Amino acid sequence: MKLANLIGERFKETPSDCIIESHALMLRGGYMKYVANGIYSSLPPLRRITKKIEQIIREEMDALDGQEVQFPVVLPASLWQESGRYESVGSELLRLKDRNGSPLVLGMTHEEAAVQLVRDYGSTYSRYPFMIYQIQTKFRDEARPRAGLIRVREFTMKDAYSFHTSTEDLEAYYLRCHRAYERIFARAGIPEVLSVASDSGMMGGSLSHEFMLLTPAGEDSIVLCSSCGYRANMEAAECITQNCTDAVPEPLTPVETPDIHTIEELCSFLEITAAGTCKAVVYQKNRDDSYVVLFLRGDLDVNETKLTNHLGEEVHPALIREDSGLQAGFIGPCGLDGSFTVLFDRSLEGALNLACGANREGFHYTGLCMQRDCPDALYHDFAKAVEGGICPVCGKHTLTISRGIEVGNIFQLGSKYTRAMHMQYTDAEGVSHYPVMGCYGIGVGRLAASVCEARHDGSGPIWPVTIAPWQVHLCCMRSDNRKVRETADKLYDGLQKAGIEVLYDDRNVSAGIMFSDADLLGIPVRLIMSPRNLKENCVEMTLRRDKTDTGRYSMEEIIPRVEEKINELMAELQPES
């Protein structure tokens, strides 16, 4: 099509609310438009990209014997009540009522709908395994939508659900799906996406992985071992610490610490390191506001996902009331009185001679020896892994922390949903069982934004040819020159006849505007027709990614050369099968 007719506007200025580059570029390039908080409309270039991504996903899901279905966006609350999630999921699940007052929800994931669809079909073992998937709009009422298409409220997602008669079969299929995901990301142009162990969260189940694009713009923290290759989301990463346990125990000694409230102040006052302290972090349960006091080594931070999983309920940072019985700034594990849930991180296990609060305004203790002073403490892993920390797999001090965008996730759900929703099959002996499930998600828009984040320069996105809105961007410089324009028009026709997707810029605008628009549209192959090229009877071909001249070709040979180049670019993104 002609650029002059392309809906949407391109502009130079970065909108003030853009915190990551893909967001800014996709607004500046006319890819999308803000409608409401976390809700966007897609303009034609983005819709063309997402259609190509959807097609890649379809092909890979079909290759896994997946069958495409479509679930409703609006679901009856009763389905979510069956699984128990109508109550357990927080306000990200948008609940509403229809004209008759019947309660509904907007689908944010479709395990319930999937089970409902195949509950009868899957009644006999001979029909297993099978997988169904859809590509459909979802709504998740995020508290803090941000970063353009990275974290939105409404999004298009491919979600797949597999059903199996054994965990072994699920595991084997899960592995196939893992490979299909690698192929999808490679084909979409970001083969560097890594899978990491993840926390299953509200989905339930035993094992899950996230596919992460490592980038400083990501909102997830990823723990990586540079030695053995261990990879996990911070939420799921085990934290291993070593404490010096052969020092001479000192007595528990109160120390007057006026105006000292933080670990930093305490360390500087006592001239010790944070690792020599035991700090308290206080939360309140969302359910009843009761207090949870968590003790951990002063140099570590709380991993709230682990805390929530341990408690089996949501918490929020505490507002410590005067009458709570807690001495804010001076909370310690000895002599802590009151009906609190008290937890100990395993970084404290066996630790000697720590400084901690004395539960008395203006006082701390030194010489805290855990085994002696807190003999009943039970230790669990509640801490965040740290840079340089110990790898839980190889045991070396080789952990690094990176930021990442989650572009996909896969879960082994077990029988959580089939059991709750009474889906059973009869085996060859006539015995009933609950099938086990896997589920597999990819956000289409987020994947597009992630590719933009990973593949751009200062002037715009550099779309991989597999998902680029068009394959070729044809620029006609000085379209007011009749001969130049006629030649460019002819080339446009020829490219279209050859089945090549061309965006044709025949506007009579300056080279500056023409090329900055082309950069923002990020189309991989660029062809330039100009008075000079016409004189030399050639067309200039450049690639968006390097902007170097890849050659000048005569009008006769240019189309085959373009086809060759497209095939070459395609081949680069073909994953090994």
Tell me whether strands 66-68 and 130-139 are parallel, antiparallel or unpaired: parallel
Nearer to a second copy, 380 or 507 (CB): 507
Binding piece for a second copy, criterion CB under 8 A, among 40-48, 208-216, 318-326, 345-353: 40-48
Nearer to a second copy, 115 or 190 (CB): 115
Distance CA 19, CA 203 (A): 29
Distance CA 142, CA 200 (A): 18
Instruction: Decide: is 6 part of the binding site for a second copy (CB under 8 A).
Output: yes
The correct pick among 71, 185, 211, 291 for binding a second copy (CB under 8 A) is 71
Tell me whether strands 472-476 and 502-505 are parallel, antiparallel or unpaired: parallel
Minimum distance from residue 287 beta carbon to a second copy (Å): 18
- The answer to whether the CB of 505 falls within 8 A of the CB of 523 is no
Instruction: Decide: is 76 part of the binding site for a second copy (CB under 8 A).
Output: yes
Instruction: Decide: is 175 part of the binding site for a second copy (CB under 8 A).
Output: no
Minimum distance from residue 99 beta carbon to a second copy (Å): 4
Nearer to a second copy, 116 or 359 (CB): 116
Minimum distance from residue 113 beta carbon to a second copy (Å): 6
Longest dimension (CA), the chain: 95
DSSP string spanning 174-189? HHHHHHHHHHHHHHTT
**Amino acid at position 217, single letter:** A
Tokens 């089970």 identify what position?
Answer: 115
Instruction: Decide: is 33 part of the binding site for a second copy (CB under 8 A).
Output: yes
Nearer to a second copy, 52 or 306 (CB): 52
Instruction: Decide: is 39 part of the binding site for a second copy (CB under 8 A).
Output: yes
The correct pick among 12, 99, 482, 497 for binding a second copy (CB under 8 A) is 99
The correct pick among 81, 82, 88, 130 for binding a second copy (CB under 8 A) is 130
Binding piece for a second copy, criterion CB under 8 A, among 17-25, 113-121, 266-274, 397-405: 113-121
Distance CA 266, CA 39 (A): 47
The correct pick among 3, 24, 61, 113 for binding a second copy (CB under 8 A) is 113
Tell me whether strands 460-461 and 436-443 are parallel, antiparallel or unpaired: unpaired
Instruction: Decide: is 132 part of the binding site for a second copy (CB under 8 A).
Output: yes
Tell me whether strands 231-233 and 220-225 are parallel, antiparallel or unpaired: antiparallel
User: What residues contact residue 385 under an 8 Å CB cut-off, 6+ apart?
Assistant: 223, 232, 234, 237, 238, 239, 303, 399, 401
Site for a second copy in 152-171 (CB under 8 A): 153-154, 156
Strands (E), 449-548: 456-457, 460-461, 472-476, 502-505, 525-529, 539-543
The correct pick among 23, 24, 25, 42 for binding a second copy (CB under 8 A) is 42
Distance CA 150, CA 163 (A): 30
The correct pick among 121, 172, 206, 568 for binding a second copy (CB under 8 A) is 121
Minimum distance from residue 60 beta carbon to a second copy (Å): 16
Contacts 24+ apart (CB under 8 A), 305-308: 305/199, 305/201, 305/235, 305/236, 306/235, 306/380, 306/381, 306/382, 306/383, 307/283, 307/343, 307/382
Binding piece for a second copy, criterion CB under 8 A, among 109-117, 373-381, 393-401, 513-521: 109-117
Distance CA 15, CA 33 (A): 12
Tokens 């570590």 identify what position?
Answer: 300
Instruction: Decide: is 54 part of the binding site for a second copy (CB under 8 A).
Output: no
Would you give the binding string for a second copy spanning residues 79-98, x where CB under 8 A is met? x-----------xx-x-xxx
Strand partners, 540: 528, 552
DSSP string spanning 432-455? EE--EEEEEEEEHHHHHHHHHHHS
- The answer to whether the CB of 482 falls within 8 A of the CB of 542 is no
Instruction: Decide: is 74 part of the binding site for a second copy (CB under 8 A).
Output: yes
Distance CA 263, CA 33 (A): 46
Instruction: Decide: is 36 part of the binding site for a second copy (CB under 8 A).
Output: yes
Instruction: Decide: is 497 part of the binding site for a second copy (CB under 8 A).
Output: no
Burial of 356 (0-12, 13-18, 19+ CB in 10 A): buried
Tokens of 141: 């009422």
Instruction: Decide: is 372 part of the binding site for a second copy (CB under 8 A).
Output: no
Instruction: Decide: is 19 part of the binding site for a second copy (CB under 8 A).
Output: no
The correct pick among 3, 24, 43, 194 for binding a second copy (CB under 8 A) is 43
Minimum distance from residue 537 beta carbon to a second copy (Å): 33
- The answer to whether the CB of 528 falls within 8 A of the CB of 542 is yes
Nearer to a second copy, 113 or 266 (CB): 113
Instruction: Decide: is 560 part of the binding site for a second copy (CB under 8 A).
Output: no
Distance CA 341, CA 560 (A): 72
**Amino acid at position 157, single letter:** M
Nearer to a second copy, 58 or 360 (CB): 58
Instruction: Decide: is 118 part of the binding site for a second copy (CB under 8 A).
Output: yes
Binding piece for a second copy, criterion CB under 8 A, among 7-15, 167-175, 237-245, 461-469: 7-15
Nearer to a second copy, 71 or 411 (CB): 71
Under rule CB under 8 A, how many of the chain's residues touch a second copy?
62
Binding piece for a second copy, criterion CB under 8 A, among 12-20, 135-143, 245-253, 457-465: 135-143
Instruction: Decide: is 336 part of the binding site for a second copy (CB under 8 A).
Output: no
Instruction: Decide: is 141 part of the binding site for a second copy (CB under 8 A).
Output: yes
Instruction: Decide: is 432 part of the binding site for a second copy (CB under 8 A).
Output: no
Minimum distance from residue 95 beta carbon to a second copy (Å): 8
Q: Angle 44-63/444-454 helices, nearest 10 degrees? A: 110
Nearer to a second copy, 114 or 300 (CB): 114
Distance CA 478, CA 486 (A): 11
Binding site for a second copy (CB under 8 A): 1, 5-9, 33, 35-37, 39-44, 46-48, 50-51, 65, 67-76, 78-79, 91-92, 94, 96-99, 102, 104, 106, 113, 116-118, 120-121, 127, 130, 132, 134, 136-137, 139, 141, 143, 153-154, 156
